[in-house]
Amino acid sequence: MPTDDAIARAAHSGACDHGDPAVRSDIAAIPDYLSDTYHWAYLSPVGRAIFDHPLVVHGILWGNYSRLMRAALQEVAPGGRVLQTACVYGHFSVRLAERVGPDGQLDVIDVAPIQVEHCRRKLARFPQAEVRVADASRLGDRGPYDTIVCFFLLHEVPDEYKTTIVDGILARLGPGGRAVFVDYHGPIRHHPLRPVMKVVFDLLEPFAERLWARDISSYASRTAGFTLRKETFFGGLYQKVVFDRTDQPADPS
Ligand SMILES: C[S@@+](CC[C@H](N)C(=O)[O-])C[C@H]1O[C@@H](n2cnc3c(N)ncnc32)[C@H](O)[C@@H]1O
């Protein structure tokens, strides 16, 4: 977890320094797991240029990208206040901004300034969308939100981050709010891609296989006050988990 000291050091050293003052003014430290494990994919301009195409994402998700996007988008009510907890390659954020519509508000965060800058370009034509640098494990007091969408972030973070991210998301939902997680899931036993994905995870995605063993809901410190739904896709390789907040806010009188 990045400590306040780590963030202050990053700010001081310019670790997150960036040409765009709007990006620079909102500094979050790049977590170690991201720079150690995923530099090639998310922090390098070369990685971004290679991977940020819908067709590439379709390939990475074995042709399930559209289906998984649709599954997430159908949980989002137009006109609401919505948070996307990390940028995603391809056009998911654009589809989300369209779904939220001009009467809603979309906040997109990412801990990597290079991703924020790029996503801002994608969303430039949507006045309802704002993209900023922030760590999904430190959501602060922004919100509350009607819907928070966590699309393929959890599998990329270590377990202690998974817990903080899930708890933080649930805490930032307003009354009647909804959290939507779409991510990897343990495939059925004889799934032909099971051994392939195991090798991919072993080589490239060391925190992903935990989602084969643990339910996303098990990362929440508290599930009282929420109803839960889970749906799996493509022989169980992917999942959507939805938390609907059902408790009422305390009566201020
Ligand atoms: C959400 S995942 C999406 C992966 C997916 N395979 C895709 O197609 O893009 C990747 C993004 O998460 C961001 N990220 C990683 N850890 C984060 C954190 N703690 N807070 C916010 N963003 C984070 C990375 O910078 C990257 O832009």
What pLDDT, in 10s, does the model give residues 214-227?
A: 999 999 999 999 99
Instruction: Show the tokens assigned to 86.
Output: 């990390």
| Domain of residue 173, CATH code | 3.40.50.150
Assigned domain for 144 exists? yes
**Range 26-37 average pLDDT:** 85
Return the residue whose CA atom lies nearest to atom 12 of ligand 1.
86
Assigned domain for 113 exists? yes
Measure the CA–CA gap between 1 and 87, rounded to whole angstroms.
Answer: 19
Assigned domain for 25 exists? no
The overall average pLDDT reported for the chain is 89
Indicate if the alpha-carbon torsion angle 114, 119, 124, 129 is positive or negative.
negative
Assigned domain for 21 exists? no
Q: Ligand 1 centre and the CA of 42: distance in Å?
A: 7
What's the domain range around 201? 52-245
Measure the CA–CA gap between 12 and 8, rounded to whole angstroms.
Answer: 6
- Whether 197 is in the pocket of ligand 1, judged by its Cβ within 6 Å, is no
Q: What is the pLDDT of residues 138-179, one digit of tens each?
A: 998 889 999 999 999 999 999 999 999 999 999 999 999 999
Quote the pLDDT of residue 251: 54
Measure the CA–CA gap between 194 and 65, rounded to whole angstroms.
Answer: 18
Q: Ligand 1 centre and the CA of 236: distance in Å?
A: 22
pLDDT(23) > 50:
no
Quote the pLDDT of residue 51: 86
pLDDT(9) > 80:
no
118 confidence band (pLDDT: 50, 70, 90): very high
- Whether 114 is in the pocket of ligand 1, judged by its Cβ within 6 Å, is no
* CA angle, 43 then 44 then 45, to 5°: 120
Assigned domain for 35 exists? no
Residue among 111, 204, 205 whose CB has most ligand 1 atoms within 8 A, to mutate? 111
pLDDT(181) > 50:
yes
Q: Are 241 and 181 in contact (CB under 8 A)?
A: yes
31 confidence band (pLDDT: 50, 70, 90): very high
Assigned domain for 46 exists? no
Assigned domain for 28 exists? no
Give the total number of structural domains in the chain: 1
Q: Are 172 and 83 in contact (CB under 8 A)?
A: yes
Poorest-confidence range of 11-20, 71-80, 187-196? 11-20
- Give me the phi and psi of 248, to 5 degrees please: -95, 150
- Whether 119 is in the pocket of ligand 1, judged by its Cβ within 6 Å, is no
Q: What is the pLDDT of residues 41-91, one digit of tens each?
A: 889 998 888 888 889 999 999 999 999 999 999 999 999 999 999 999 999
Assigned domain for 27 exists? no
Q: What is the pTM of this model?
A: 0.89
- Whether 93 is in the pocket of ligand 1, judged by its Cβ within 6 Å, is no
- Whether 31 is in the pocket of ligand 1, judged by its Cβ within 6 Å, is yes
Q: How many CB atoms lie within 10 A of CB 149?
A: 28
